[in-house]
């Protein structure tokens, strides 16, 4: 490295991907610095996966407490206290942020608590004006919630604000039909909020297996969540009492106390200086990179949501690891994007890996599906009329299991283990050779007919 560089690697963004890349590059012996303008941990830790999952746990007690009575527990009428849950969750987020800081410190990564912009192929400038030269720059700035260009859109909130509410609204409209919309529809509903999910299209969770998402829709409606489809937003009015009147095309307006925008996330590239140094951007401002995460400017790389490939934390972490191993560890590594498992922490949750049935129809010569449609025994005793659905897609030619999709209690926990078998290319008969573990829900995976 020529002596003119202050660092071998300068990372912009202290989220899951940026922290992994910095730590591993430093462990390989690189001199590394990282700039983070907000809080270490990024979206996942600070205002995404982690606090969301804790709210999902908190919300589930509403049903668990009801079910407990059928299991012999004399449960008095319990009151839910939102500030207690909120503050405990936020305290846990603070703890994790500290751990992220510790990881960087222990690996001798220098952290700058300020915004950095790119001012040259090998130069970044910090908010305080300091200019830093680095042999390689890695952009790991993540993504930002999209707010549509609709009159009054500013009266809504996004997932950035939702963890800090003063109180749980009585009536909420959630815009969008994807991950965040369905997860928060479940959370708010369990907290006794009247939830209406409004989507521009005619379905929820586009990209998930049709039967699985239909099951979620059916259970959600049964629980009392309202759905409005094919309803683009027209205008949001704030009323004198602070409530909102939400107007949609071809639909009656809906009055609500909170509007949550959950209509996708846009790569965080605005104002970073990328275009000025010649970094090519794609749709939505995503940084275009090759298989080794390299942008059109050879010294500038990007990983995670900012590249808009797969917006999932574990993918960003893998990309950060591969980047650092390739550039600084003499170990060329590329991320394998096939068979990435994913989950929606709705009530009940969904897990999926591999091809959906419609993808199998398009991509395979012939395929077979197997399903297990059952009421988990805990639900039976609880008198809860919610059925789980597991679905397996098998390539008829090779007999390989090419897709596995599930909705039901603990589906993501079960799916993670089963995804190993799908990733390993196991066949339906290899699943069946495994003796069932009885009585479990997951035994259905080896008993499908």
181 binds ligand NDP (CB under 6 A): yes
Contact window for ligand NDP (CB under 6 A) among 98-106, 175-183, 249-257, 396-404 = 175-183
Contact window for ligand NDP (CB under 6 A) among 81-89, 131-139, 200-208, 362-370 = 200-208
Candidates 262, 286, 406, 415; binder of ligand NDP (CB under 6 A) is 262
Closest by CA to 83, choosing from 191, 235, 179, is 191
Q: Say if CB 138 and CB 279 are below 8 A apart.
A: no
Torsion angle of the four alpha carbons 9, 300, 284, 154, in this order, in degrees rounded to the nearest 10: 40
Q: Say if CB 231 and CB 248 are below 8 A apart.
A: yes
Candidates 133, 155, 200, 423; binder of ligand NDP (CB under 6 A) is 200
- Beta carbon nearer to ligand NDP, 131 or 206: 206
* Closest residue to ligand NDP, based on beta-carbon distance: 178
Question: What tokens does 128 get?
Answer: 């305080």
CB of 43 to ligand NDP, least distance (A): 8
Question: What tokens does 164 get?
Answer: 């800090």
Candidates 22, 122, 342, 379; binder of ligand NDP (CB under 6 A) is 342
Residues 265-294 that bind ligand NDP (CB under 6 A): 265
309 binds ligand NDP (CB under 6 A): no
**CA 108 – CA 100 distance, rounded (Å):** 13
CB of 350 to ligand NDP, least distance (A): 9
Element (H, E) at 323: helix 313-328
Question: What tokens does 306 get?
Answer: 């900012």
Element (H, E) at 381: helix 377-382
CB of 262 to ligand NDP, least distance (A): 4
- Beta carbon nearer to ligand NDP, 136 or 182: 182
304 binds ligand NDP (CB under 6 A): no
- Beta carbon nearer to ligand NDP, 120 or 152: 152
- Beta carbon nearer to ligand NDP, 31 or 265: 265
- Beta carbon nearer to ligand NDP, 101 or 349: 349
Angle at 163 between CA 157 and CA 165, to 5 degrees: 70
Contact window for ligand NDP (CB under 6 A) among 19-27, 262-270, 325-333, 431-439 = 262-270
Residues 206-245 that bind ligand NDP (CB under 6 A): 206
- Beta carbon nearer to ligand NDP, 262 or 286: 262
152 binds ligand NDP (CB under 6 A): no
CB of 187 to ligand NDP, least distance (A): 12
Candidates 45, 59, 168, 263; binder of ligand NDP (CB under 6 A) is 263
Contact window for ligand NDP (CB under 6 A) among 69-77, 126-134, 193-201, 378-386 = 193-201
CB of 332 to ligand NDP, least distance (A): 27
3-class SS of residue 442 = helix
185-207 exposure pattern, b = at least 16 Cβ within 10 A, e = fewer? bbbbbbbebbbbbbbbeebbbee
- Beta carbon nearer to ligand NDP, 50 or 401: 50
Closest by CA to 171, choosing from 229, 240, 224, is 224
Find residue 228's DSSP bridge partners: 198
Candidates 19, 312, 406, 415; binder of ligand NDP (CB under 6 A) is 312
Candidates 289, 306, 344, 422; binder of ligand NDP (CB under 6 A) is 344
CA 252: distance to chain centroid?
31
56 binds ligand NDP (CB under 6 A): no
Instruction: Check residue 276 and report its DSSP letter.
Output: G
Catalytic residues: 438
CB of 366 to ligand NDP, least distance (A): 29
Total residues interacting with ligand NDP, rule: CB under 6 A: 22
Candidates 264, 296, 333, 427; binder of ligand NDP (CB under 6 A) is 264
Candidates 16, 22, 122, 199; binder of ligand NDP (CB under 6 A) is 199
- Beta carbon nearer to ligand NDP, 199 or 442: 199
**CA 17 – CA 304 distance, rounded (Å):** 6
**CA 175 – CA 103 distance, rounded (Å):** 37
Long-range CB pairs of 56-64 (<8 Å, 24+ gap) are 56/183, 56/186, 56/187, 56/345, 56/347, 56/349, 58/85, 58/89, 58/187, 59/186, 59/187, 59/189, 59/190, 59/191, 59/347, 60/190, 60/347, 62/190, 62/191, 62/192, 63/190, 63/347, 63/384
Question: What tokens does 442 get?
Answer: 């997951």
**CA 20 – CA 26 distance, rounded (Å):** 10
What residues make contact with ligand NDP under the rule CB under 6 A?
148, 176-181, 183, 199-201, 206, 262-265, 311-312, 342-345
């Amino acid at each position: 490295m020529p002596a003119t560089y202050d660092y071998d690697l300068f990372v912009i963004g202290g989220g899951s991907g940026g922290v992994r890349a910095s730590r591993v590059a430093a462990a390989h012996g690189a001199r590394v610095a990282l700039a983070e303008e907000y809080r270490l941990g990024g979206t996942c830790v600070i205002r995404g996966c982690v606090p969301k999952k804790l709210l999902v746990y908190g919300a589930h007690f509403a049903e668990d407490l009801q079910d407990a009575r059928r299991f012999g527990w004399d449960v008095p009428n319990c009151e839910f206290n939102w500030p207690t849950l909120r503050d405990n969750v936020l305290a846990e987020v603070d703890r994790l942020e500290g751990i992220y800081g510790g990881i960087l410190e222990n690996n001798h990564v220098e952290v700058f608590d300020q915004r950095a912009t790119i001012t040259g192929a090998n130069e970044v400038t910090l908010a305080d004006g300091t200019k830093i030269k680095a042999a390689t720059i890695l952009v790991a700035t993540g993504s930002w919630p999209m707010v549509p260009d609709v009159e009054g859109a500013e009266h809504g909130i996004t997932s950035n604000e939702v963890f800090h509410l003063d109180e749980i609204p009585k009536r909420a409209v959630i815009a969008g039909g994807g991950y965040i919309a369905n997860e928060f529809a479940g959370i708010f509903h369990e907290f006794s909020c009247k939830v209406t999910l409004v989507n521009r299209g005619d379905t929820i969770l586009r990209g998930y297996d049709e039967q699985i998402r239909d099951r979620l829709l059916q259970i959600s409606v049964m629980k009392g969540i309202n759905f409005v489809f094919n309803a683009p937003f027209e205008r949001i009015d704030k009323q004198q009492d602070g409530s909102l009147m939400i107007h949609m095309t071809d639909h009656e307006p809906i009055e609500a106390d909170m509007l949550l925008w959950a209509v996708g996330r846009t790569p965080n590239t605005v104002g970073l200086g990328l275009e000025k140094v010649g970094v090519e951007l794609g749709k939505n401002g995503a940084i275009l990179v090759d298989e080794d995460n390299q942008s059109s400017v050879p010294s500038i790389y990007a990983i995670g949501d900012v590249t808009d490939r797969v917006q999932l934390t574990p993918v960003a972490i893998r990309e950060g690891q591969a980047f650092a191993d390739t550039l600084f560890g003499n170990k060329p590594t590329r991320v394998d994007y096939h068979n990435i498992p994913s989950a929606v922490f709705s009530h009940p949750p969904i897990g999926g890996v591999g091809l959906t049935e419609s993808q199998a129809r398009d991509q395979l010569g012939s395929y077979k599906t197997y399903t297990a449609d059952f009421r988990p025994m805990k639900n039976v005793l609880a008198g809860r009329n919610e059925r789980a659905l597991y679905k397996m897609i098998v390539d008829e030619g090779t007999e390989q299991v090419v897709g596995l999709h599930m909705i039901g209690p603990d589906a993501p926990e079960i799916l993670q283990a089963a995804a190993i078998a799908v990733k390993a290319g196991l066949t339906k008969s290899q699943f069946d050779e495994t003796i069932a573990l009885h009585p479990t829900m997951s035994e259905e995976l080896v008993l499908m007919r």
